[in-house]
Structure 1
Amino acid sequence: MSSIFTKIVNGEIPCYKVAEDENFLAFLDINPNAKGHTLCIPKKEIDKLFDLEDDLYLGLMAFSKKVAIALEKTVPCLRVGVAVIGIDVPHAHVHLIPFNQMDEMTFRKKVSMTKEDFEALAKSIQANM
């Protein structure tokens, strides 16, 4: 059975897309720790990050770096944190979280955003790619 992220890649489930290339997709997390919380995924469904082939792993990190740079230009923050948890969805993914305080990286604190907030933010990040 396809993961929710594969369904997003296939267009079966909508997302707030930030960036995309042939192998990777970045989209806003719909249950964000902070404004701008973005997920970067390989389009190929592989459960665990460290099960990715080396070139795909390195490509995901390079893609995530580009997205993080755009996030930092878009969302006021001290830095963009990186987290790899891998429990919630069986599809390798990287969390990019703009943050000003450590509690924004704990996955306990969440922010609320409207559909319009998500759409405007995704467009702003895209403009900084």
Structure 2
Amino acid sequence: MTTIFEKIIAGEWPGKFVYADDLCVVFATKAPIRPGHVLVVPREVHDAWTDMPEDLAAHLMKVGHRIGKAQLGVYECTRIGLEIAGFEVPHAHLHVIPLRDENDLVLAEATEVSERVLESTMQALRSALEEQGHEANVPLTIDSPALS
């Protein structure tokens, strides 16, 4: 079975991308908990975080760290949260979320936002990543052409 994340990465379904490398991609969730909430998704499909090889899991954490540093400079937040749940989609992924307090870590509180809101919040994060020297990993466009 093909997951929604595979379809987004392949460009078959829309996605708002802020980061991509050979091992993973980062894109907006259409139902964020807070502005700037993104998903760090490995290109390889692994059902759960614990199914991934350790080096891939470490790479996702490294990318999540880069994203979090950029989020701190862009969004109204005091901390960056990281959540690994995996119930929504059977494809391991990290939620990287700008937080005001620990109540912002409740995935059940996520609500869908407009394309315009997603576009503007992700453009701000893309700019911050470029300013931090990660421009080589910021895709040329925010919309998801196939990233394979």
Give the alignment's TM-score, normalised by structure 2.
0.83
2:116 aligned with 1:116? yes
Mapped to 1, the partners of 2:59 and 2:108 lie a distance apart of 29
- The number of residues matched between the two structures is 129
Deviation string for 1:4-60 (max 9, x for gaps)?
A: 001111111111111111111111111111111111010111111111111111111
Structure 2's unaligned 5+ residue stretches are 130-148
Mapped to 2, the partners of 1:108 and 1:48 lie a distance apart of 19
Mapped to 1, the partners of 2:128 and 2:27 lie a distance apart of 14
Deviation, 1:112, is: 5.1
Mapped to 2, the partners of 1:124 and 1:80 lie a distance apart of 16
Structural RMSD (CA): 1.2
Amino acid at match of 1:26: V
CA contact (8 A) 2:34 2:98 kept: yes
**TM superposition outliers: structure 1 runs of 4+ over 6 Å:** none
Residue in 1 that maps onto 2:5:
5
For CA contacts below 8 A with separation 6 or more, give which structure has more relative contact order.
2
Residue in 1 that maps onto 2:29:
29
Q: Which of 111-120 and 36-45 deviates more?
A: 111-120
From the superposition, tell whether residues 51 and 112 of structure 1 become closer, same or farther in structure 2 (CA, over 3 Å).
Answer: closer
Deviation, 1:101, is: 2.2
Matches within 5 A, 1:1-129: 1-111=1-111, 113-129=113-129
Mapped to 2, the partners of 1:56 and 1:124 lie a distance apart of 27
SS in 2 for 1:128: helix
Deviation string for 1:67-87 (max 9, x for gaps)?
A: 111111111101110000011
CA contact (8 A) 1:103 1:109 kept: no
Amino acid at match of 1:90: P
Mapped to 2, the partners of 1:61 and 1:108 lie a distance apart of 23
